Structure formats: C-alpha cells, structure tokens
Amino acid sequence: MDHFFGALKAGNFSVLDINIERNGQLILSLQQQLRSNDAYGAGNNEFEALIKSHSLYENRWTRLNNLVHSFLVYCRELNPYSLWESSFSVFQYYQDLNTCLSNETTMYPIDSLVPLFTATTELVIPMAVRLDSNYKIIGTRQNQFLTHIASIISKLFNSIKARVDDDKVEFAHLPGKQKILLYISNKLNMIYFKINSPSSCANIFKNLKPKSNIYSFNQYPLTERIQFRYYLGRYYLLNHRIVNAFHQLNQCYQLLAPLHDSPAKLGNMRRLLKFLVPCGVIISKLPNFNKLAQWDPVLAAKYTDLVIAMKNGNLNKVNVWLYENESWLKSSKLLIVLLEKLPILTFRSLLRSVFLHYSMPRNTNKLPYSVIRPILAKSIGLYPPQMPSIYKANYTAESLENILVTLSIQQLWKGNVFPSLQVCVTMKTDNISLIFPNINEKIVSRFALSQEDSWLDK
C-alpha cells in the first residue's frame, strides 16, 4: 500500500491502471491487503480516511482522491472471472477518471492522466459492447452501457473549450486534453453509430474545429484523421448528401491506400469500400473494379453486376439486385439511398441508348412517347410475386412523363417534354454528350462541398 501511494506522490499515475494484463500484480497485491482487513470490507469512510492520511497534493485535489477511492474499490471487488460483477466498479472508476480530466484548473498535473484515460477507454468500450450484447440475459436495456460510456466521454469533449481568440499552435505544443480531442471525437462517433444514433455526431462535427486550436487538421495523427473522415462520410451518406460523403470517404481511401499492407489495413479498406463504392456509383465515379477485386472480391462482384445493369438501362435487374441484397443493404443503412437514386440513373442510361439508336440515325431531335414507353416497359419487366411493392412500384411505363421531367429537373438530360403532343424534344446535335451531360459534373455543380469541412483539406 505504501508503494502504491508513494508512486502517486511521485506523479506516477500508471499505478491507477485497471488493466490486469499491465497492472495485475499491483491490483492483486492491493486486493489481498484490502480483503484481509475487515475495516475495508464494505464502507467508504475507511477508504476516505486511508486516502486522506497520505495527503496527496495536500488533499486539495479532491477529484484525484475520488479517483483513488474508485481504484481501491475496484481492486477490492474485482472478479477476473465475471465481467458483470466487476463492471460497476470499472464504470465508476472511468467516470471519476473523466471527472479529473474535465477539471479546467492548471494547478494539478492533469495532462499526466491523459495516457491513463486513453488506455482505459480502449478497455471499457469493448467491455460495454460485450455487456450490451448480453443485455437480455443480464436484464439491462439495449445499448445501456455504451450509452453510459458515451455520456462520460461527451463530458470530456464538452469540457474542452473553444479558444477562438487564442493563437494557433503546433500539435506537439497542445495541452494533453487538446491532443486527444480527435481521439475523443472518433470514439464518440463510433459509439453513436453502434447504438444507432448517428444524428448525435452532428455536435462533434460542428465543434471540432473551434476546439482544436491547431494550425491545420493534417497535424493530427494519420489514423485519427482517417477515422474522423470515415465517420463524417458515413454521416453524410445517411443524410443523402452524396457528394460530401464521397469526398470524405475518398479522402480516407487516399490516406489509407499508401500504408503498408497488413491485416488491419485490409479490414479497414473493406469497411471503407463498403460505403465508398455505392457513393461512387450514385455520382458516376466508378472504381477500377480489377483493383477493387484485390481488396474485396465479393464486393467487386456485387457491384459489377449492378453497374452493368445500370449501364444497360435494365431497371428490372437493378431492382432485383436491390431486393436480393436487401438484408445486407439494410444492415449497412444503404438500401433507402440506393433505392432512391439508382432507378432514375438507370432510366437515364436507357433513354440515352434510345436516342443513340433511334433519334441519331434519323437525324431528328424528337422522340415520341410511343417509342420510349414499350422499351421502358421491357426494361421494367416482370417481378417475382413475393417482391415487395417498394421495388416494383418505383417506376412504371405509365410514369414515363414524370421520369422525363425528373431527369430534366436534375439536369441529367437536356430536353423538353410536350405532354399534349406525347413527345420529348432536344437540341439538334450529333453530339450525344450535349444532350446527356456528364453525371458527375452535373451533380457536383448542383451540390457543392460543405464549406464547414474545408479546413479538413488544409
């Protein structure tokens, strides 16, 4: 016990580590001492008296005393064979550790606790995930523990005040809490996505820049920058802001690809491509499928079939692809956005093909509904009876006019619709690209990148 308090007086806060793999010998020693003394069996007064007797920082740093108290309770109650029995003392300890760091005073060596906080965070999040996965057995609410961890970390995030008027500094010269700002942000974003509350990430994305107090985003550690852009990209994708989503996810790819090959890189690349590829498909920024197959052959095969169906203007195959991959797309939160965006792009390909093979050879800029409608009906085709109407009712041959107007509004086709004449008319040209402009250029021009994120690229 004297060795433990002596280390604390010397500023060695690593002795407060609750990880038994790193600090097991000390934890076991303290547990034996505490359990052998009846005075420390149940009450808190004895612990408080013990801690005060050692006069850490003259007992003025009350929050540190509370942390030491929580650590000793953890040592006493730890059962390495029961995560459930140990969880209460672990989470109380983590909360008290966070409270120490949340203090804004410069009187005490708060920065010395930062490595302990990050190490403990890496321990408690998997613990919370494991407990939450068994919530029905242990009788807790779904995501109860991860939600609790998020509330603790968010207090630390909020305690880092925006310093708009302060001079920017190099990353190496930041205070300890400021250095882990992006780390904290990534942990919160990860938890919010895990507990199906990604809208909570908005506060993180909005406040990171004013809190950061550094010259540029690129000063943060590479892995943390990749993680932050990944969650920001997914956030935009969930909100159907595809151009912004693609930019952030593509930046992740550019940062990740040059790293040395490893199992971790492969896993991260597959997680990234799962969302980057559909973004690219929607805005017509298709990947190199041969290269994609090197990273994830299953994903490459899936999207190759989809892209071929879209380029051929085959609405039936596109909708069948969505239906057959429904479970996978739902779990990835991709179904709705693809269901919303892909059919109209597929019809554009179909209409472009009709212009090439009907209007161009005839040197006419007019295309009758009577020509398009049967081709559209063939493209839609017949669907299995068990297929939900959400796939079958997207477009019908009777909705031809609405489809043409939609393409015109979205600037994916330069033409006019004349309902009374049952015909659509375009400019007179033999250059099909003037009638059907580049999809990516049109989408990007209509939906500019968010200026709030521009500092990420500097």
pLDDT confidence bin for 41, thresholds 50/70/90: low
Q: Is residue 34's pLDDT more than 90?
A: no
> Of 223-232, 334-343, 381-390, which gets the smallest average pLDDT?
381-390
Which is more confident, 273 or 105?
Answer: 273
- For the stretch 406-443, pLDDT in tens is 999 988 999 899 989 999 999 888 889 999 999 888 88
Q: Say if residue 38's pLDDT is above 70.
A: no
Residues 258-284: pLDDT tens digits? Answer: 999 999 999 999 999 999 999 999 999
In the 3-class helix/strand/coil scheme, how is 151-165 assigned residue by residue? HHHHHHHHHCCCCCC
> What distances in angstroms separate CA 287 from CA 250, 303, 412, one per listed residue?
11, 10, 21
User: Which sign does the torsion angle of CA 256, 257, 260, 261 carry?
Assistant: positive
> How many C-beta neighbours within 10 Å does residue 176 have?
16
pLDDT(396) > 80? no
| CA dist., res. 281 & res. 445, Å (int) | 17
Q: In the predicted model, is pLDDT for residue 43 greater than 80? A: no
Residue 40 confidence (pLDDT): 62
Q: Where residue 33 falls among pLDDT bands split at 50, 70, 90? A: confident
- Percentage of residues in the chain having pLDDT higher than 70: 97
Name the DSSP class of 356.
Answer: I
The pLDDT tens digits of the residues spanning 184-232 come to 999 999 999 999 999 999 999 999 998 988 888 999 999 999 999 999 9
Q: pTM score, two decimals?
A: 0.91
Closest C-alpha to 99, from 61, 127, 72, 57? 61
